[in-house]
Structure 1
Amino acid sequence: MEPKLVFAVLLLISVAVSAEYVRPPPRKTLDFPWSEKPSSHPQQVHISLAGDNRMRISWVTDDKSAHSTVEYGTSPGKYSAKSRGESTSYKYLFYSSGKIHHTIIGPLEPNTVYFYRCGGQGVEYQLKTPPDQFPITFAVAGDLGQTGWTESTLDHIDQCKYDVHLLPGDLSYADYMQHRWDTFGELVEPLASSRPWMVTQGNHEKESIPLLVDGFASYNSRWKMPYEESESSSNLYYSFEVAGAHIVMLGSYADYDEYSDQYHWLKADLAKVDRAKTPWLLVLLHVPWYNSNKAHQGEGDDMKAAMEPLLYDAKVDLVLAGHVHAYERSSFLNAWLFDLQKRVHNGNSDPCGPVYITIGDGGNKEGLASKYVFASCYLFAPFTLPESKHC
């Protein structure tokens, strides 16, 4: 079978048109009625990839004595294995989180449905592991938030037969109001508990207060990613492999110059990529390096100057970003507006550079960034990537 990745981009695609399209304004932030659950029952369940054939199950309990155990198996109600994990919690001014559990299960069979229960309490969940060979389907949505548009995006994702969700930053839009992390966890649980969600941080995750609160305390406590498994020193940047893809999640808000830990980690990680094993090489980050929207112009320039040569030398296929609340992709046109080349390096068309895609309007409260250099309209659409062609 010809190797391919299928991406369901559940955001807004920009195409040049003569008629002007006006999208409805942002929908209101969702209200979440209080739902009483026993304190030992799991809440905000989500899963993520955690190394070869393993999955991390994360959840929150109000009961600080609840166990960080997961029972699991391939038949409903019949659990043939059990894993014990770790837990953490954090304080943010007057807010105290529940007990946050992270438990790794496995080894697991690829492309298989598993049933699991967290802490021996509450309802049974089920997940499906990704395939170990092509084709593999990703859903990609950045800057989600918690609005009516977020619900619409999640509904579209739910209708897509995807294997892994990729989120290039700006998850909850809690913006210092810590209970909004809890409501976001409940909002995404139906999807995030059944397929792995692989995320990186955006500016709305930072939430630092000088002298009082370190940045990313909430994000790092709740959304633990496989940074240790990929030999990174920070949860803000890491990599993982699934099927035939090596995927690098970079930190736009971690140091990235040539003397930084992230730079040296990225250089070492890319050097270890085996293109015979993983012919696709993808990078996700929050702040786009190429951007023709008027929003956030130039914010990614310094990171691009430092790291773009590493991506080019490694022959990265695709770079996905969020931050700008719109969709666009790299494309060089000739005088007759024929699309000649989608790959870019150093601001120029280059057949050995990556394709760059911005996908930053998953439904956040700030609305759409609609001012481009060229007129645009916006549509929902999926797209398929053919066999990887790197130089």
Structure 2
Amino acid sequence: MEPKFMLLMVALMTIATASADYVRPKPRKILDFPWESKHSSQPQQVHISLAGDQHMRVTWIADGKSSPSIVEYGTSPGKYNRIAQGESTSYDYLLYSSGKIHHTVIGPLEHNTVYFYRCGKQGPEFQLKTPPSEFPVTFTVAGDLGQTGWTKSTLDHIDLCTYDVHLLPGDLSYADYIQSRWDTFGELVQPLASARPWMVTEGNHEKENILILEDGFQSYNARWKMPYEESGSSSNLYYSFDVAGAHLIMLGSYTDYDEYSEQYSWLKADLLKVDRKRTPWLLVLFHVPWYNSNKAHRGEGDHMMQAMEPLLYAAGVDIVLAGHVHAYERSKRVYGGRSDSCGAVHVTVGDGGNREGLASKYINPQPEWSVFREASFGHAELKIVNSTHALWSWHRNDDDEPVRSDEVWITSLVSSGCLADKRPELRKILLAP
């Protein structure tokens, strides 16, 4: 055998070894929470979310009945030259009674600026950074978080990122009826969620409905209020918002979505308002994926897909992010079950660290629309560089080190000519009664 041929064979064997299937990590235990108890009126579980143009909603829980829904804030540490008054709520669930849940909107705020703030006129000082007004803008993405050792690893890796907004496509705490787990989840994510806006939508583990006794999504709606009113929605389960030059739509997989539903009507109205000159990127998030070649949860998103995919296609949605399946998968641009250069890129990121473990079994052969799939815990990053290009990357948790195992540049549909071709179709579909 000639030396050159031998070298070629060695090289090919090396590449084959390097591209072998990823060996999924073992599950990790649910976290213990040995935090010291705080004074009843001290702010706890602090998190922030976007609340309309140049405004931020600060949410926290305090057990003291007299704790005010006030946020003091300013651009210098310890110097609060502005103050905002909000509202509070609470709920009972079987034998559990929540603390006083405060929601206070602050603003108008300057873009790309650090603010220091204090909740309820007492407790520690927090700081947040507002998103930029224009590109570049960076999102981190992780769904199905839960409260395990892998969750902690994912959060630690996100904390190392330079990002502006965190996106969570459902299944937050995995409380599953045990309400104290909502409290421990709030404490777990507070270091990150108090510093950057967390924009979330509901998953199946947020339902928590008990026939006759308890309504669904009671805990989720009380604790994680999103800007649904600001976006013209009648439900906290679906809403939209703008960041820099991107318009993001958060849909509900577990509320009515057929053509006669309020969510469907709201989606049509929201899409009609989108100005692609002002927000050239259009992203959608929901919990149950429509494109899934994993054996777990196959077909669960089919009905929602049949109802809403034509709307998203006509509007020229660039990227769709989902959770639910505990594995990672990225598609080509796709529509109607086939590759389509004017369709959306679909990505499943339902593997932030949940206690149920990974979904490691995929169907074979791999569908032609599926580009990359891997059963691993981790997070994703989306850096939208300008109106035409964005960098997507997937970072798996590998022995507590973030490993970038998938990366791709995505070109916006604005720059492809697809939107001009679809304008008549969009108007016809969206304006149909």
TM-score higher than 0.5 here? yes
Matched, 1:180 2:192: no
Task: Tell me, in whole angstroms, the C-alpha distance in 2 between the residues paired with 1:246 and 1:170.
Answer: 22
Aligned to 1:86: 87
The structure, 1 or 2, with the larger RCO (C-alpha pairs under 8 Å, 6+ apart) is 1
TM-score, normalising length from structure 2? 0.82
Kept in 1, the 8 Å contact 2:316–2:413? The answer is no
Paired amino acid for 2:73: Y
Aligned to 1:152: 153
Ranges in structure 1 where 5+ consecutive residues have no aligned partner = 1-14, 331-341
Aligned to 1:389: 413
Aligned to 2:339: 349
| Deviation of the 1:373 alpha carbon | 2.1
SS of residue in 1 equivalent to 2:362: coil
Aligned to 1:4: none
Paired residue total: 366
Paired amino acid for 1:264: S
Matched, 1:359 2:349: yes
Task: Tell me, in whole angstroms, the C-alpha distance in 2 between the residues paired with 1:159 and 1:277.
Answer: 30
Matched, 1:58 2:59: yes
TM-score, normalising length from structure 1? 0.91
Task: Tell me, in whole angstroms, the C-alpha distance in 1 between the residues paired with 2:66 and 2:200.
Answer: 28
CA shift digits 1:133-184 (9 cap, x unpaired): 0000000000000000000000000000010000000000000000000000
Change in Cα spacing, 1:283 to 1:17, as seen in structure 2 (3 Å) is farther
Aligned to 1:335: none
Aligned to 2:286: 285
Matched, 1:300 2:301: yes
Larger Rg: 2
| Deviation of the 1:385 alpha carbon | 4.4
Paired amino acid for 2:265: H
Aligned to 2:10: none
Aligned to 1:232: 233
Task: Tell me, in whole angstroms, the C-alpha distance in 1 between the residues paired with 2:19 and 2:167.
Answer: 33
Change in Cα spacing, 1:366 to 1:85, as seen in structure 2 (3 Å) is same
Correspondence 1:252-263 to 2 at 5 A: 252-263=253-264
Matched, 1:163 2:164: yes
Aligned to 1:111: 112
Q: Write 1 or 2 for the structure with the bigger share of helix.
A: 2
* RMSD value, Cα: 1.6
Select between 180-189 and 15-24 the one with higher mean Cα deviation.
15-24
Task: Tell me, in whole angstroms, the C-alpha distance in 2 between the residues paired with 1:362 and 1:220.
Answer: 21
Aligned to 1:317: 318
SS of residue in 2 equivalent to 1:274: coil
Change in Cα spacing, 1:18 to 1:136, as seen in structure 2 (3 Å) is closer
Change in Cα spacing, 1:313 to 1:16, as seen in structure 2 (3 Å) is farther
| Deviation of the 1:389 alpha carbon | 2.7
Task: Tell me, in whole angstroms, the C-alpha distance in 2 between the residues paired with 1:389 and 1:325.
Answer: 29
Task: Tell me, in whole angstroms, the C-alpha distance in 2 between the residues paired with 1:48 and 1:237.
Answer: 14
CA shift digits 1:334-386 (9 cap, x unpaired): xxxxxxxx211111111111000000000000011010125865544274645
| Deviation of the 1:87 alpha carbon | 0.3
Paired amino acid for 1:315: G
Change in Cα spacing, 1:76 to 1:308, as seen in structure 2 (3 Å) is same
Change in Cα spacing, 1:385 to 1:22, as seen in structure 2 (3 Å) is closer
CA shift digits 1:1-33 (9 cap, x unpaired): xxxxxxxxxxxxxx9976343322210000111
SS of residue in 2 equivalent to 1:154: helix
